[in-house]
Every structure is written in structure tokens, then in C-alpha cells.
Amino acid sequence: MKQLFRLVKVLFSIYVVYLLIGLGLGYFGIINSIPLAPGWKIKTPNYAKEQTQVDFEQPIVYYENDSLKTLFIEEHQGALRKRNTSHHLKETVSVRINYEEINFEVPIIRAHSIETDVYPLPNKAICVSDIEGNFDGFIRFLKGNKVINDNLEWSYGKGHLVLLGDYFDRGKYVNECLWLIYKLEQEAERVGGKVHFILGNHETMNIIGAYDHSLFKYVNGKFFANATFMDFEYENWYSKQTELGRWLRTKNSIEKMGGLVLVHGGISPDLVKSGLTLEQINSGIRKGLDKNPKEHSETEALLLRNNGPLWYRGLAKEEITNEQIDTVLAYFNSSKIIIGHTVFNQIKTLYGSKVIDIDVNHSENREILGLLIEDNTLYEINDNGNMRKLTSYNSVN
């Protein structure tokens, strides 16, 4: 009996240590929950640090066998409830922005293709970055510059819309932004236009976070609360079994449009020294998205860490020389690099306008700024369509 008591005491001590270690890892954002027993777990302090209240949630569309399922949170008789519907090859999902009473239907793409990474320069293009879940600001900017109409439909003709990464994190309305982009892509293609959704570090953090929960540290707490409410872990929302997850994995992290390089963070001298092509950069990042960061190859580690195109801030901070900038431009046979990622008070020209940083603080209730490329001229534009000339541009196609 004494031996049994000692065994129970030892096991209890081990269990307490396990919980303390779990709480410590949770405090530093490494894990979000601690399993207690099969089917039971507790949330760590990091799990919903920003907001714990359940809120409306747009459809999470996922695949199970031959069925397409949608999981969402809606209002019903004055309260929120989750809905899980199953459809055999359903063609559309409905997005309802309850606080604005905006609804739109999104056709589901049955087969996805990897995006092309080189495009000719269009007659007109608009670039905007780092929206971070600010759906109101995003549609205000698009309407103000006649990219969409009041029904949130594409109205930019054969123009191109470049979304330069970081539409995830911080804000509450990430999926509203994603489904709108998903829809506009299809509408633009039908009339000869194009939407370029370039991945930023926050997109990749929300995918790779399935292997390392510390990467969820900027996720609005609403999403963790909603994940618990729907019994669908946040780490699975953008997996390869979900429609948005499959779609995101077709996107590039760097593209070239005429003589412009489009990249979220920047291009480091180390990236140039690697000798990687645009296609190799994009495919390397795709491969790294579905691996534990500890298992990344040397190339994947370069691409997905501080000196890679998603994270590098050396251009924005003017840490390299003009000669090095010229080397980067020559490597990609380009004349300018358009970046986001590093915040300025206005659209910023760097290195004699060879680098344009378009990341401005786009939090709620702030002016949204972007870049217009038209008639060989680059302009700063705001959400009212007002323009400020930045520089002329000799296109290279």
C-alpha cells in the first residue's frame, strides 16, 4: 500500500511539473493549450490574450472525403451559434458582414494553379499592403480608387491590383478580407484584369504556426475564442484541407511586373548571393510552409527568416549601399523594388526612388494609403482617390 501511495505521489508530482512547464511555455507564446487528458485541455494565458469574446465568423470551408463543408458563426434569435453545413461540391459560399449588413457570394474555385511570377507592366496598377484585418479600411480604399463598386464588385477593368502581403493578424476581419480578395481575383480575370496577392510574413506565420504556436502571437484573440466555440482548432484554419489554405499555397512571395519587383519585405544581398530565381524563391517558400521550422533546409531557412523576402528590412532602413541596391536591381533585371513590411508615415521613396515602401499604419479609423502606377508615373494615393506624385518611371518589360 505504501508503495502504491509513493507511486501516486510521484506521478502527481510529475503531473504538476508538467502543468507548470506548460503554463511557462504558454506564457511565452510557445503553446496555446495544455492537454490534461483525452478530450480535455486548458488554455494558456497566450491563447486569447487580446480578446476572449466570441464573435461572428466567416465560413471556414474545408474538405472531408467528397464533401465540401462550411463552418461559421452566425446570429440566431439574438444569440450567436455555430453552423456546420455539408454540401457535395457546393459552388458558392456566402459572406455576411453583420456589422455593415453587407453580403456577397463567393464562387469556390474547383482547381487551383500556382501563380505566374512574371508579368508585363499593365496600363495602370494599384498597390496596397499591410491591411492586417482592417476590412472597413480596405474596402474604403478600393471604392475610393474605383477598384470596386458599392456592391464590392471589380470595376477596375484591365487594371492590376497588387496586395503586397500582411492581410493577416491584429485586426478582427481577416477572413472578410481574404474572401473578398478570393472573389475579386475571379472577377478581374474575366475582364482581363489581375489581382496579385503576394504573401507577407504574417500570412506565412499563420500557416507555419500549426507547427510553432509562438507564431500566432499577433493573432487577434477573437479567433482563438471562435475556434474554441466552433471546436475547430485555429491551427487548422489555413491547412491544406481548407479552401483558403489551398488557395494561399498558390500565391507567390515575389513577383516581377514590367521592371518592378514586388515583394513584401525586401531583397537582401544574401538572397542575391544564393543565385535563386524568382521561381525557386517562390517554390522554396511553398515547400517550407508545411514543415516544422526546425526541419527547414538551408535554402528554406534563408527564405523564411530575417534575410528572406518576407522579413528583410535592410532596404527600408537603408542599411545597404547604393552599389548593393544596383546589384540587386541588376540581378532581377529591374529598375525599382516595391516593398511593404516596414511602417512609415507616408509612402516612402528610398535610394533615389529605386525602392518604394508602401507600408503605412493602416489600423482602424486611419487613412489608407497606396501606390498608383499609371502613365510612367508613380503616385501616392489615399482612400479618397487623392494623388501625390512620387517619381517618374521608365518601364522595363
In a domain, 84, yes or no: no
Range of the domain at 33: 2-43
So what's the pLDDT on residue 49?
Answer: 46
In a domain, 139, yes or no: yes
In the chain, % of residues over pLDDT 70: 87
Average pLDDT value for the chain: 90
In this structure, the answer to whether residues 210 and 351 fall within a common structural domain is yes
So what's the pLDDT on residue 50?
Answer: 45
In this structure, the answer to whether residues 381 and 262 fall within a common structural domain is yes
Find the DSSP H helices in the chain.
2-27, 135-144, 174-190, 201-208, 221-230, 243-248, 269-274, 278-289, 298-304, 322-331
In this structure, the answer to whether residues 145 and 276 fall within a common structural domain is yes
pLDDT, tens only, 35-60: 655 334 455 544 444 446 899 999 99
Could you count the other beta carbons within 10 Å of the beta carbon of residue 240? Answer: 14
In this structure, the answer to whether residues 166 and 251 fall within a common structural domain is yes
The CATH number linked to 385 is: 3.60.21.10
**What distance, in Å, lies between the first and last C-alpha atoms of the chain?**
84
In this structure, the answer to whether residues 263 and 351 fall within a common structural domain is yes
In this structure, the answer to whether residues 157 and 285 fall within a common structural domain is yes
In a domain, 64, yes or no: no
pLDDT greater than 90 at residue 31: no
For the record, the C-alpha cell of 18 comes out as 508538467
pLDDT, tens only, 251-286: 999 999 999 999 999 999 999 999 999 999 999 999
In a domain, 289, yes or no: yes
In this structure, the answer to whether residues 24 and 161 fall within a common structural domain is no
Query: What is the mean predicted confidence (pLDDT) over 87-105?
Result: 78
In this structure, the answer to whether residues 198 and 316 fall within a common structural domain is yes
In this structure, the answer to whether residues 7 and 152 fall within a common structural domain is no
Q: How many domains does the chain have?
A: 2
In a domain, 288, yes or no: yes
In a domain, 104, yes or no: no
So what's the pLDDT on residue 212?
Answer: 94
In this structure, the answer to whether residues 298 and 207 fall within a common structural domain is yes
In a domain, 386, yes or no: yes
So what's the pLDDT on residue 393?
Answer: 80
Spatial distance between the Cα atoms of 377 and 352, rounded to a whole number of angstroms: 15
In a domain, 152, yes or no: yes
Query: What is the mean predicted confidence (pLDDT) over 108-122?
Result: 94
Query: What is the mean predicted confidence (pLDDT) over 17-28?
Result: 65
In this structure, the answer to whether residues 28 and 170 fall within a common structural domain is no
In this structure, the answer to whether residues 192 and 304 fall within a common structural domain is yes
Q: Which of 389, 334, 316, 373 lies closest to 128 in space, CA to CA? A: 373
pLDDT, tens only, 219-248: 999 999 999 999 999 999 999 999 999 999
| DSSP output for 16-43 | HHHHHHHHHHHHTTS-SEEEEETTEEEE
Contact 133, 174 (CB under 8 A): yes
